[in-house]
Amino acid sequence: MSDVCLVLEGTYPYVRGGVSAWTHNLIKSLPDMRFSIVSIMPTPADTRDELYDIPPNVQSFVNVYLRDYHFPPRILKRRYKKLFDFFELFHKGTDHMESGDLERFLLELMKNRNNLDLNYAFGSRDFWKSVHKLYAEGDTTISFLDFFWNYRFTFLPLMKILKAKIPPARLYHTISTGYAGVLATLAKIKFNSNMVLTEHGIYTRERRIEIAQARWIYEREEEFIKARADLGYFKVWWNRYFGVMSRLAYNYADQITTLYDGNREFQVNDGADPQKIDIIPNGVDLERFKDVKDAHDGKSKRRTIAYVGRIVPIKDVKTLIRACRIIVQERPDVQILLIGPQEEESQYFNECSALINIMGLQKNVVFTGYVNLMEYYSKIDLMLLTSISEAQPLVILEASACGIPFVATDVGACRELIEGKNDEDREIGPSGIVCDFRAPNQIARASLKLLDDEEMYQKMAAAGKKRVAKFYNQKDVLTAYSNLYETYI
């Protein structure tokens, strides 16, 4: 039995990014703690390459695949009708639940896990009756065929979670709500253990943004073509589904941690008990960055701008590219490095590449892919972040530790990382400039100002280093999590 089982969804060790790096550092920095890991990914194809070397204090590793379905051809022998009551509760959402409804169902389900059968759940007469019942109670102007397939695609992944192999542990630490939160909840029930939830980005909020932009969710033609503020039927459906998952994790978690006060407000609005929530910010290893030197000598022009992150829609790299076009028009010598993995959303990466070509930026903008950032920080003069949603970006903290000013959109904790979170912090001074999101001209003007005003640049560089050393030391963060683990193990 491990001390702590980390339950992860769509991240470590198969995807690079802030959450994965945070997870890896946490495990490495607590070598006396015995970990196990449950990694939830879409399919086996997504787990071919481990992008991190798993530390030796990880005792076991389990992959759970949400979209890897096998329906063995056999006669149905295991029938558990209450499963459809559980699906119905999920489908109707938290507004229709009485206190304790989900908890009672989960206790019952865990007692009957051996009776959960995919063929019965999605190929039986009882399944058909359940679909018909929910359809008849809802908007019957919606195509029944579309309703049927959304029902199936909604609950197949949930069945995979309900049937997943769960390693025993003294404490379950889930690094999101969603499917990971459901699995950690089931583990807590099965092994009578404790459960801690950490949210970097708020799962339901990120899903709402993705669902609003989603092309894979069907909308009727009249819904699609008219401009309106509300979402279509099936987009509301998926938002409701993810909302139930978050409420479940919030209810079962013994303690909830998040990165900053803004996240805490989102969690409370989604049903979390404010008494359970603690703020533990991100932190950086100051020793790691102390030898990063500013390559600029103060005489030549600053000319290297970088973006560090995944090339995905939520990072709004297209706005960054449009801002770079304005910068290049005034400073043709500027080099822009787009640093980070490109394979997560290949279609979006191709669209960004096409936009660079259309705008004639091929000589200025370079996709580097994944690199060792420690070899790049001393070459970078300015960093940009144009995301439409963030939590507390680790890259801002790392850049600040290196004395690199930042231009970032006003999302998540970006403003407090750059301008300060309280009076004591704000006295240090800004370490960059905060802009509106999807405002390429504003981002470009801020960038040019920092590149051209050396006095402002040096003040902001010094402020960033001071802020990180005082408020975001990784040693303090690791001590907080070590104490948290000791409390609940």
pLDDT for the residue 118: 86
Helices (H) and strands (E) in the chain, counts: 20, 13
pLDDT for the residue 99: 63
Strands 169-174 and 2-9: parallel
Kindly state whether residue 197 falls inside one of the protein's structural domains: yes
Same-domain pairing of 197 and 123: yes
DSSP bridge partners of 384? 407
Same-domain pairing of 18 and 150: yes
Kindly state whether residue 482 falls inside one of the protein's structural domains: no
Kindly state whether residue 206 falls inside one of the protein's structural domains: yes
Q: At a CB cut-off of 8 Å and minimum separation 6, what does 40 contact?
A: 7, 8, 9, 10, 64, 65, 66, 161, 179, 180, 183
Q: At a CB cut-off of 8 Å and minimum separation 6, what does 361 contact?
A: 321, 324, 325, 328, 336
The 10s digit of each residue's pLDDT in 212-230 is 876 665 555 544 444 444 5
Same-domain pairing of 348 and 207: no
Same-domain pairing of 223 and 305: no
Per-residue HEC secondary structure of 125-147 comes to HHHHHHHHHHHHHCCCCCCHHHH
Same-domain pairing of 192 and 294: no
Same-domain pairing of 275 and 343: no
Domain count, the chain: 2
Label residues 109-128 b or e (16+ Cβ within 10 Å = b). bbeeeeeebebbbbebebbe
Kindly state whether residue 191 falls inside one of the protein's structural domains: yes
pLDDT bucket at 113, cuts 50 / 70 / 90: confident
Same-domain pairing of 128 and 7: yes
Type of residue at 196 = V
Same-domain pairing of 392 and 267: no
Which domain, by its residues, includes 336? 286-472
The 10s digit of each residue's pLDDT in 116-168 is 888 888 988 999 999 999 999 988 899 999 999 999 999 999 999 998 999 99
445: helix, strand or coil = helix
- The predicted model gives 182-187 an average pLDDT of 95
Same-domain pairing of 145 and 165: yes
Percent of the chain whose predicted confidence (pLDDT) is above 70: 92
Q: What is the DSSP string of 33-101?
A: S-EEEEEEESSGGGGS---SPPPTTEEEEEEEETT------S------THHHHHHHHHHH-GGGPPTTH
CATH code assigned at 118: 3.40.50.2000
Kindly state whether residue 83 falls inside one of the protein's structural domains: no
259, 279, 299: which is the final residue of a domain? 279
The encoded tokens of residue 457 equal: 């640049």
Same-domain pairing of 31 and 178: yes
Same-domain pairing of 270 and 155: yes
pLDDT bucket at 70, cuts 50 / 70 / 90: confident
Kindly state whether residue 84 falls inside one of the protein's structural domains: no
239, 264, 279: which is the final residue of a domain? 279
The 10s digit of each residue's pLDDT in 412-429 is 999 999 999 999 999 999
Choose among 10, 140, 16, 114: nearest CA to 394.
Answer: 16
- The predicted model gives 163-184 an average pLDDT of 95
Kindly state whether residue 98 falls inside one of the protein's structural domains: no
Q: Which helix (H) or strand (E) holds 307?
A: strand 304-308
Same-domain pairing of 184 and 265: yes
248, 279, 310: which is the final residue of a domain? 279
Rounded to a whole number of angstroms, the distance between the first and last alpha carbons of the chain is: 12
Kindly state whether residue 238 falls inside one of the protein's structural domains: yes
